[in-house]
Structure 1
């Protein structure tokens, strides 16, 4: 285990509208606002998403199990964003629900908004955190520089 302490900088509130690509839009805002590290919360709905629902087997590096969400699902989630060089790496875990059925996982691609998503990003300062790819672990892993 390793940790750092820091402080909260700016707070950015974002509304994503029907049809927006959530992950792509979040990356754009992170780059535009020059947020190097942050934590965010999201609430709303998606009508499409590529979600990792766990590894196929408990091995390192993992072989991810994908589930494609195609249809309206309510979403509540939280995540972090840290840079790999100049590229924001988003790590979002969420619970997606439809008609009483819930799917929980890591939302990684094809995230199309249904009606509305509300997001609050808290910029993290003073910790110098990055998220480069770790070949041995098979994940983008936090490092403290």
Structure 2
């Protein structure tokens, strides 16, 4: 186990608008506000999204199981926004989708298109943690 400490920074209350791509807008906000590390909580609805709902098989490196969500789903999510070692922004957000009697959980990876609105609270944490590719697993992990 590795860990780091940090202190609370700014708190952003965000409203994402109908048909915006929530991931692109998170990245835009993080760049504009120079956010290096933050947690994010999302609440609202998405009308489409591409997610990863686990690996295809339990092997390392994992091959992601992609799923496209279509149709409006009530959505809650939690994740983080972290600066990569190359200076770009990476959000890692796990989201639950609910539509009528169907529920699905996955990692929101692309095309998170908002239906009416998504509300978010983004809490900045001042720390020296960032992301890098782990050479063993091939996935982005925390770098302390």
TM-score by length of 2: 0.97
Q: Does 1:81 align with 2:57?
A: no
Cα RMSD for the two superposed structures: 0.8
Structure 2 residue aligned with 1:68: 68
1:96-115 equivalent positions in 2, closer than 5 A: 96-115=97-116
Moved over 3 A (4+): none
What SS class does the counterpart of residue 125 from structure 2 fall into?
strand
* Aligned pairs, number: 143
Report the Cα offset of residue 135 of structure 1: 3.6
Report the Cα offset of residue 39 of structure 1: 0.4
Q: Distance in 1 between matches of 2:91 and 2:134?
A: 15
Report the Cα offset of residue 132 of structure 1: 1.5
Q: Distance in 2 between matches of 1:68 and 1:42?
A: 19
What SS class does the counterpart of residue 5 from structure 2 fall into?
coil
1:12-31 equivalent positions in 2, closer than 5 A: 12-31=12-31
Q: Distance in 2 between matches of 1:41 and 1:100?
A: 23
Q: Distance in 1 between matches of 2:89 and 2:136?
A: 21
What SS class does the counterpart of residue 25 from structure 2 fall into?
helix
Q: Does 1:128 align with 2:113?
A: no
Query: Which residues of structure 2 form unaligned runs of 5+?
Result: none
What SS class does the counterpart of residue 136 from structure 1 fall into?
coil
Q: Distance in 2 between matches of 1:37 and 1:54?
A: 24
Residues 22-51 of structure 1 deviation map (CA, whole Å, 9 limit, x = unaligned): 000000000000000010100000001001
Residues 53-73 of structure 1 deviation map (CA, whole Å, 9 limit, x = unaligned): 000111111000011001101
Q: Does 1:41 align with 2:52?
A: no
Q: Distance in 2 between matches of 1:22 and 1:135?
A: 29
